[in-house]
């Protein structure tokens, strides 16, 4: 921009932050803060917002994004039971937020999820009524983590099982399982333990 009043200010014209595009209009200094004219992709009227808020991510829309997120939280898409959101919907919504935060693929729908009676790994009964994560709480597992939440790559298992495999690779899990199996076999057969060999 020609003849910009302060050469030390980073020029934001034409840049996009979330849904906001900085317009090619002179910024205004209000209370010692440079504010830029932006317009939201939803088509609302242009308005002024601080450059610092744009760069930090605090300002991402005219307010429409917040409205949509609130509406999404309060809409269960028919997945309610007795006036309350089903556990499947809650798990789906939480997974969707994690996928957005971690920039992972997300292709599943609520109907793709069904909380089983028992954890398919540990066999413990799953509770649909826990208000916080406990060992017997259902949780969504990405079987191959980097593939994200895509059909065929998710399973509902207990939070306990999910914690166990959270940081371990397949190779590490196989080694642990093999070691424990050998230990138990030796112990039950009276041959000592792995530490004795």
Taking the chain (197 residues) in runs of 10, the rounded mean pLDDT of each run is 52 88 86 89 89 88 82 59 74 91 92 92 88 87 89 91 83 83 78 51
Report the sign of the C-alpha dihedral through residues 133, 139, 144, 148, in that order. negative
Q: Give the residue numbers spanning the domain of 23.
A: 1-74
Q: Structural domain tally of the chain?
A: 2
Report the sign of the C-alpha dihedral through residues 29, 31, 36, 40, in that order. negative
Together in a domain, 67 and 86: no
What's the pLDDT at 191? 61
Together in a domain, 86 and 46: no
For 49-56, the CB contacts below 8 A with 24+ separation are 49/20, 51/9, 51/10, 51/12, 51/27, 54/12, 54/15, 54/17, 54/20, 54/22, 55/17
What's the pLDDT at 1? 42
Select from 74, 107, 123 the last residue of a domain.
74
Together in a domain, 66 and 112: no
Select from 74, 91, 115 the last residue of a domain.
74
Together in a domain, 68 and 131: no
CB 20 within 8 A of CB 60: yes
Q: Which residues make Cβ contacts (< 8 Å) with residue 191, sequence separation at least 6?
A: 185
């Amino acid at each position: 921009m020609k003849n910009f009043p302060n050469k030390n200010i980073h020029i934001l014209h034409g840049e996009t932050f979330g849904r906001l595009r900085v317009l090619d209009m002179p910024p205004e200094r209000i209370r010692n803060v440079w504010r830029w004219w932006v317009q939201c992709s939803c088509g609302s009227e242009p308005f002024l917002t601080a450059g610092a808020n744009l760069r930090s991510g605090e300002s991402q829309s005219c307010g429409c994004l917040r409205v949509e997120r609130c509406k999404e939280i309060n809409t269960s898409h028919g997945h309610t039971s007795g006036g309350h959101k089903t556990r499947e919907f809650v798990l789906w919504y939480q997974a969707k937020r994690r996928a957005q935060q971690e920039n992972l693929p997300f292709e599943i729908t609520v109907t793709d999820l069904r909380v089983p009676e028992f954890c398919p790994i540990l066999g413990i009964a799953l509770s649909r009524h826990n208000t916080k994560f406990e060992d017997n709480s259902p949780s969504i597992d990405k079987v191959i983590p980097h593939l994200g939440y895509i059909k065929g790559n998710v399973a509902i298992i207990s939070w306990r099982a999910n914690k166990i495999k959270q940081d371990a690779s397949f190779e590490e899990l196989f080694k642990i399982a093999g070691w424990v199996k050998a230990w138990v076999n030796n112990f039950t057969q009276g041959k000592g333990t792995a530490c004795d060999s």
